[in-house]
Amino acid sequence: MSLFDHYEPDPPILCPKCGAPLTGWQGKDVHPALFVWRQGVAAPVDQRVDPEIRALPERLATLRVSPEFWIYGGECECGYHFDGSRFGVRCTAPDGVWRTVEIDPPPTPARDAGDGWLQCSECSDVWPRVEGRQLYLCPGCGRLTQLAEGDGAG
């Protein structure tokens, strides 16, 4: 049996289809053992195993993620699965604490078209923007799109 760890991006990555938080992220970092890592917290917040084989709390407290690692497998109640064969999620922990989450390669940029609309940079289709959401599936071409960095600020 190959082990993995559970990962909880905080704030959650929102489903590009319906906007609900994607859950079920997994990864294999240093010594995967069903640890639960939460973004912004240094040590695992939990270990999803039977109590008798749990790591001691003292040992859990000393564990850290790698400076760079990848997670995959995010899914949503609506049936959306993050396509790990096309996109990875790169995470960094420059100071030993998981700090950043970034989709790599970057999704197709969507630009703010004004009046609450976003526009796909590939097919020029438009759709309504949802406050706080970065990822969308373009209704025109079906691509995973991401609100361009810094766009919509002004």
Cβ within 8 Å of residue 30, ≥6 positions away: 63, 64, 65, 66
Q: Which stretch binds Zn ion (CB under 5 A): 1-9, 16-24, 49-57, 146-154?
A: 16-24
DSSP 58-77: HHHTT----SEEEEB--B-T
Distance (Å, whole) CA 111 – CA 91:
24
Site string for Zn ion, 81-120 (x = CB under 5 A): ---------------------------------------x
CB of 70 to Zn ion, least distance (A): 22
Q: Which residues bind Zn ion (CB under 5 A)?
A: 15, 17-18, 20, 76, 78, 80, 120, 122-123, 125, 138, 140-141
